[in-house]
Structures are given as C-alpha cells and as structure tokens.
Structure 1
C-alpha cells in the first residue's frame, strides 16, 4: 500500500485527518479553496470523545490549555428558571474530562500548527479527475493534477465529491431553523460556563472562554434564506426581556462580528463513506444539526479512525472498508439523536408541548442526565501506530 493522500478541505475535519495521516507516516497535501486558513467561526464545545481524538492526534494538551472547562450552567426558561443543571464535575469523574469551550479559530490554529506549512495548498479549488483515476484531483482552474493513493473529501456540507460519488442522493436539507452567533468583543461578567435557554421557537446559549469573552448563539425557527438588515437590533428586539446575561452578551458584540447561517443537515443517510480510493469525512459524510454539539467531535473521530485503519490494514481498499464499517453506524446514530434533540428543544413552539418538556426536564435526576450524555461522549479512540514506535 502506498502512503500519499490528498485531503480536500482545510476545516477542522480536514486538518485533523492530515495530522492523523502524518502521524502514521503518510505524505499529505491539504487543498482548501479559501484564500485564508482561519476557519472563521464563533465557538465550539469539545466533549470527551473529541478531546480523546485530539489526544491521539497529539494536540490534546495544547487544546486543553487553551480551553475552559464547563463545570456549571445548564438549561433555563426565558424568565431564568432552571430546567436542568449542568454537573461538569460528575461528567469529569465519569469520562475524565468536562466538556470544554474554545474559540473555533483557536482549535483550527492548533491543528494547523501541527502540520508543516508546505502541507497546505490554499486558495485553490479541487475536483475529482475521473479519467485519471479515483485517487486524483484537479487543483484550480489550470491543469495541475495531484495523484495520490487516497483522496479524503472533507469539503463540508455542500461537498462536490459527495455529489459526484452519489449523484442520486438528495443532499443537504434545511431543518427549519437559522442560527446567528458571535464572540463578544470584550470579557463579560458570567456566572456560568455554559447555558442554553429555550423559548417557544427560539433558543439562546453561551459558551464562556478562558480569556473572559464568550460565544453566544441564537437559534430561530425561520424559513431558509431569512436575513436581517441589522441582526443585532433584531436579536435585541426578540430577546430584550429574556434573563441576564443575554442582553449583556448582545451589548458586548460588534454588529460586524455576527455570523448568520441556516441550519442544514444530511437527513438522508449515505449508503457508504467510501467509494474507490475516496473517503468522505466530517460534514461531507454526516452533516448534522448542532443540537448535541457533536459535529466537530464526530469529524475528529473520523480522522483518527481513518488513520488507524490505514495503519492497520494491508490495502487502501481494506482500510476504507473498515473505516466505513466503524464510522457510519456511530456517526449516523449521533446525527439522528441531534435531530431529535432539536425537535424537543428550540423547535417546540406550542404551549402544551413546551410545558410538558419543561416538566420532564425539571423532574429528570442529574445522574440520568449524565448517563444520557455519556451515550455519545464515552468513546475510546483506536491507537495510532506511528513509525517512531
């Protein structure tokens, strides 16, 4: 088996895959169409499974040092009543770590730092070259072709490679929600590490960072394509009477810092994550709603499992068969759970279902809540066999 790979997409999943493949001795090139590799975004919560994947990739220590543990907080009503409290200490006791919050750009930088600069080819589009073979991609608009033993398509929810491999697949669909998010410009006086607040057809949440700033997000039940001339003004109007610190978070944010995206997902599961010498990874394979905070964690799991399979199996074909068998059932189960969590959260809008959900949440013991979280967080990565071992 050869040991060269082209990874299409320089997001968190693509970079994690590059780090993992290099750790097993592969030569890697990452092709990213964006001209600047900064993974623009707000914040991210890393659960134990994602942190364990990062440990196996060799960057877990650096990520933990840059992240803030989520020990307290939970879920509230717009008036501030607690529906469920977070017990980060109990979660840490169960799996060895609390959930940790970190700016997405910081995580992206730490993954980039683990790669030689020459690994990254930015500002270039990549497309499959079928006439040359399944392990080749055309880069840019010219005739530059990169051939490799493996192509990893980590090109996001709108993946061109997925469209080529599965032309009859319906692709991503809108789930009925849109999300606005940002990182505050300065530190905010917060009493909790993480919160979600569920109203009728709306959600507001925050993640506190190590430097005192915070990421906030607002999810609204709205048609795809809905946009606001002044997003902060619109959010102040919608959330002005919700509990503290929601107004303070909005006041600490610049208007030009607000990101606005519709929530889309691959509702129809793919029949395989690998075709020929092309492997799909991350959102290209299993884009899910953000309700469980597992999107990036699942992509990093993909990266570790792919590298481990390539290190252990005698051929690329055998490795990709193993990768698909290990990753597809788990990631698609997590995607289903995320979709269900959204239906029981912000997407509820009628008074009776909202009241029933709130009652169930208030009556659920904290130990039971921890057990539910562990279904997705308690994952052990395969060990990567490195040439230096």
Structure 2
C-alpha cells in the first residue's frame, strides 16, 4: 500500500485531504500556487456533515470554539415576511451537531495549524504530473519550480478551474456559467442581528447573512447577471439594489468597507465527470464537482471527499483499489447534491418571473411544519467513515 501523496491546491478540500491522509500515516505535501491562503472577505456555513467530517479529521473542537452556532433564521421576502423558518435546535437534536458559521479565513487557519511545518508549500505552481499509471511502481512524478517529488497518490484539489482536471479529462467541457454572480464581504464592525442565518429571495436575487461569534457578519448578494458584468462601484450598486429591502440588509451594507467587497461569477460542473480518478490521481472538491451555492453544500462535500479518500486508501490493499473505492463512494452522492443545488437555485433565487415567484412563495408558506428541517436533513445526514 502507498504512503505518500502530493496535493495540488491548498483550499479547504486540499487541506482537509492532507489532514485525512496524515491521520492514516501518510506523508503529505500540499502545493498551493497562491502566496497567501484564505479568503479573508468571506464566511462559510457548515452543515452537520461538514462538521462531522472535521471531527473525524481531528479539528472539530477548534472549529466549534471559533464558530457561532446557527439556531435561528430562515428564508424571507424583501419586505421581511417569512417563507420558511430554520429550527437549528431541532436539526442539532436529529443530527447530533449544530450548523456553524465561521469566517473562511479562520477555517483555513484551523486546517493549516493542524499540519506539521513544511507540509504546505505556498507560492508554487505544479507544472507537471506524469507517470500516473499504476503499472509504474515508482509512483507519479510531480514538479513545481525546481522541486520534483514522487508520490503514490496525487490529489487534484485545484478548484473549479482545475488545470489537472483538464489534463486528465481533455474531452470534458469544463465549468459552465450558472447565470448568477455573487458579491460578498465581511462587515468591518459588529452588527445588531436578530438571527444567526438568513436568506432573502427577490426577483432573480438573493441576499443572505451569516453571523459570526465576534458580532461581525458575512453577507452575500447573488444576482442573475450576464457573465463578466462588473459595476464601477459594487457597494454603491448593491445599496441601490437592496436599499429598500428589510432590515438588517441596509445595515449590513452600511457596515462594510468598499474595498472589502469580493465579486465572482458562479461556475459549476454542469456536465458531471465520468470518474473522480485517473490512474494515481484523485480529483476532489470543486475540481471534481463544483456546484452552485444554493444548498450551502460545496465545502461540506469537499470535506466528505477528504475523509472518504483517506478511509478508502486505509481500508483497501492497494492504491488502485483504494482510489476505485473513493470514486464509487463519492461520485454518486456529490453529483446528486450538485444536481439538487442547481434545482434549488432555479426554484429559488434565480426565479425572475412574477407569477412563478408568487406560486413558489405560496407553496413555501403552505408547506407543513418541519418541511425545512427535512430538506436540510436530506443532504446533511452523513456519517463519516472512521480514520484509524
């Protein structure tokens, strides 16, 4: 069985994969082309499946200590009326762990701190990966700069625009624009929030917030928009677009510095990959199944990938069988979640026809009590394999 891995990409999925492989006794090097890790201008909400994965990776206690648990909130209309309430306590009772909100940079820091010195290489770009066939007993060869390493497994965790994925699956069409763009930021100062987490759906738009433990909050605005459209003053444009929406939306925007606003078009792998494995290479996270954010499951699925990959490699007698098991266990579930996220967007904030919006809102208000809880349970109910 193998014992060394090179992970291409130091995002949440790549760092989590490194922790998982180290827990089964492997030597791991993470190579990240960015000189500085972490998206300081954003936050993240992790469902129970993501929290359970981090527990298995050994950092669950640190995660909880730095998070704000999400017990209150739900989905509203721009005038403030509720479409659905979130019962975080009921979810915690059923799943055994709460939903948490945390700055993305803090989560990155927790994952990095759990790695030994030297395991993470930043400011380096992998330029060559070859000899990935299992018939070569020496392992794959990975090059970055003047460094050349051999590895039993290479993990492609280099994001939605993955260069490794393109090389491994040259006929795959790659990521597609979802039709939505997202602007987001973390407030400069604490904001008086009555709920832990909210989404508000308007016509072709969503505004949401995640409250943090220190009183600040992350907010995001998702808008139907042409690809590449960029306003000259993003924050001013958002204040015009959402200025008459219910509190605390105007207050969140007022507590934000213009230079902190991030703007990204949302791409997804609308065409599923035929495999998450090619030779000795495992594709993981957004590189494998980039999805729209409308279920809040993107990072959670990457964390599931990381734990499952490590467990499969630990359980199987060979690298080849371990990677085959990873593909068999992860590809059906993650691709199903990606399809569900796409459908959630189309039926939720991406709707822009007034009649369709009215019908959707009526259906939400008439839904039986507990429907929102069952919707979350559908994707968050996941038990991680044990890492020995």
Query: Does 1:169 find its partner at 2:140?
Result: no
Per-residue deviation, 1:36: 1.2
Selected match of 1:224 from 222, 227, 231 = 227
Partner Cα distance (2:170, 2:54) in 1: 33
Helix, strand or coil for the counterpart of 1:304?
helix
Query: Does 1:290 find its partner at 2:282?
Result: no
Q: How does 1:4-43 map to 2 (within 5 A)?
A: 4-43=4-43
Per-residue deviation, 1:130: 2.6
Partner Cα distance (1:128, 1:376) in 2: 36
Partner residue of 2:143?
Answer: 138
Query: Does 1:251 find its partner at 2:254?
Result: yes
Q: How does 1:1-389 map to 2 (within 5 A)?
A: 1-130=1-130, 135-140=140-145, 142=146, 144-385=147-388
Per-residue deviation, 1:132: 8.0
Helix, strand or coil for the counterpart of 1:118?
coil
Partner Cα distance (1:329, 1:38) in 2: 29
Aligned length: 383
Question: Does the 8 Å contact 1:304/1:382 carry over to 2?
Answer: yes
Partner Cα distance (1:260, 1:150) in 2: 34
Partner Cα distance (1:206, 1:258) in 2: 14
Question: Does the 8 Å contact 2:162/2:287 carry over to 1?
Answer: yes
Question: Does the 8 Å contact 2:132/2:281 carry over to 1?
Answer: no
Question: Does the 8 Å contact 1:205/1:218 carry over to 2?
Answer: yes
Partner Cα distance (1:216, 1:242) in 2: 14
Partner Cα distance (2:354, 2:179) in 1: 19
Query: Residues 141-162 of structure 1: CA distance to partner in whole angstroms, max 9, x if unpaired?
Result: x4x2111101000000000110
Question: Does the 8 Å contact 2:155/2:282 carry over to 1?
Answer: yes
Per-residue deviation, 1:131: 5.8
Helix, strand or coil for the counterpart of 2:127?
strand
Per-residue deviation, 1:97: 2.1
**Higher mean displacement: 27-36 or 129-138:** 129-138
Partner Cα distance (1:322, 1:25) in 2: 19
TM-score, normalised by the number of residues in structure 2 = 0.97
Partner Cα distance (1:339, 1:44) in 2: 19
Helix, strand or coil for the counterpart of 1:358?
helix
Per-residue deviation, 1:41: 4.2
Question: Does the 8 Å contact 2:63/2:107 carry over to 1?
Answer: yes
Question: Does the 8 Å contact 1:70/1:99 carry over to 2?
Answer: yes
Per-residue deviation, 1:232: 0.5
Per-residue deviation, 1:366: 3.0
Question: Does the 8 Å contact 1:128/1:161 carry over to 2?
Answer: no
Aligned-residue CA RMSD (Å): 1.1
Partner Cα distance (2:188, 2:120) in 1: 30
Question: Does the 8 Å contact 1:11/1:39 carry over to 2?
Answer: no
Helix, strand or coil for the counterpart of 1:366?
coil
Question: Does the 8 Å contact 1:89/1:98 carry over to 2?
Answer: yes
Instruction: Mark the runs of 5 or more structure 1 residues left unpaired by the alignment.
Output: none
Helix, strand or coil for the counterpart of 2:84?
strand
Change (3 A) 1:39 1:147: farther
Partner Cα distance (2:193, 2:258) in 1: 21
